[in-house]
Amino acid sequence: MSFSSILGQDKTVKRLRALLESGRVPPAMIFHGAPGTGKFLTAAEFAKALNCSHLAHRERPAAPPLPDENDLFAAAAPAPAADPEPGPAILHSDPSDSCGACLSCLQAQSGAHPDIRVVDTVFQAAFLDEPESANLKIDTMRELTRWAQQKPMLSRWKVFIVRDAEALVPQAQNALLKTLEEPPPGTLVILTVSKKTSLLATILSRSCIIEFGRLPDASVKTILEAQGTEPARAAALAALATGSLEKAAEAGAFLKQISALRPGDPSKIFKFSAGLPRDSHKAREEVKTLLDLLLAKTRAAWRAADGSLKTKFTALLRRTLDLRRMADRNVSYQLLLETALLESERAGIKIEDLVKPA
């Protein structure tokens, strides 16, 4: 794995490689873009490339076995040849990418690098010894600040990747701010975030913002195929994904649920909406994805229509957009979804149409 494993973000990767090449890496960076566009993967690759030593990693050869004292016929062991201990070979001299073979790269790849830490709600649950929470708390950021004060153990840089930083509560952001204001030398904090507005202005102003655009459909398809999805299904999901691997995964799950519905079943919409997650945060995200799919379908129908049909789809588009806006408020997501699906069905767009590519 190196930057070549990141597909569909060529401009962004080029910018990051230029930073590595220049040696002027800012102490705080924000990787901003829609969910499922490769922000975290790129942050991990950037941390790896930054700490790559480009020097071959040699395991020390094991000492030869001692001769068995009871074996009288054992030949005397030859004196071990003097180990010339050559200096480590330079593997890869491109400073803008990782070599994938030095000790630092091997540890980064195994997720066990002592100087690269991923801070997310899973890490927090283990660190605070409590169930996983939707928020990143002040105690977790205090731990990050404390660790930032220590020297790196293996490499030149200590890198913290705060994943999905919109989960940081304001007090936690304030605690993090101290590290961003006076970064200890050799410290890099990368926040990955899909909504910049969830971060304090003081955090934004101290960070170098790297934008991640939506992935081209062809890249989504290639990535899905590399993950084992068969080509026709990968193409269908890529068309529904709006450039996000997360949306592609959600669409894949919906595809499964929707294909299990009987098209003539009068209660199919209610059966489908009853399958929404209990967790309201997850339910809201799923409803938003479904409404986005519905909007894409309605726009396609609107483009193809004329006359009174066009007027009908214009009204449906307006109505679905209104419902999509409401999904950001504290409402019953199940009711919202049922309303949108019923109104669309009345205008001729059925739930089973959602899984057909536009």
> What is the rounded CA–CA span in Å between residue 17 and residue 48?
12
> What is the rounded CA–CA span in Å between residue 106 and residue 96?
17
How far does CA 119 lie from the centroid of its chain? 13
- What's at 177, amino acid-wise? L
> What is the rounded CA–CA span in Å between residue 288 and residue 279?
14
CB of 54 to Zn ion, least distance (A): 6
Nearer to Zn ion, 102 or 193 (CB): 102
Contact present, 297 and 358 (Cβ < 8 Å): yes
Number of residues binding to Zn ion, judged by CB under 5 A = 5
Q: Any contact of residue 49 with Zn ion (CB under 5 A)?
A: no
Nearer to Zn ion, 19 or 295 (CB): 19
CB of 157 to Zn ion, least distance (A): 13
Nearer to Zn ion, 44 or 224 (CB): 44
Q: Any contact of residue 52 with Zn ion (CB under 5 A)?
A: yes
CB of 43 to Zn ion, least distance (A): 17
User: By CB under 5 A, which span of 45-53, 111-119, 121-129, 139-147 interacts with Zn ion?
Assistant: 45-53
Binding mask 80-99 for Zn ion (x = CB under 5 A): ------------------xx
Residue 179 CB neighbours (<10 A): 22
Nearer to Zn ion, 113 or 137 (CB): 113
User: By CB under 5 A, which span of 35-43, 50-58, 301-309, 347-355 interacts with Zn ion?
Assistant: 50-58
How far does CA 17 lie from the centroid of its chain? 19
| 3-state class (DSSP) for residue 188 | strand
Contact present, 271 and 261 (Cβ < 8 Å): yes
Nearer to Zn ion, 21 or 182 (CB): 21
> From residue 7, how far is each of 38, 43, 71, 212 by CA, in Å?
8, 14, 61, 12
Q: Any contact of residue 105 with Zn ion (CB under 5 A)?
A: yes
Q: Any contact of residue 43 with Zn ion (CB under 5 A)?
A: no
Question: Which parts of this chain interact with Zn ion (CB under 5 A)?
Answer: 52, 98-99, 102, 105
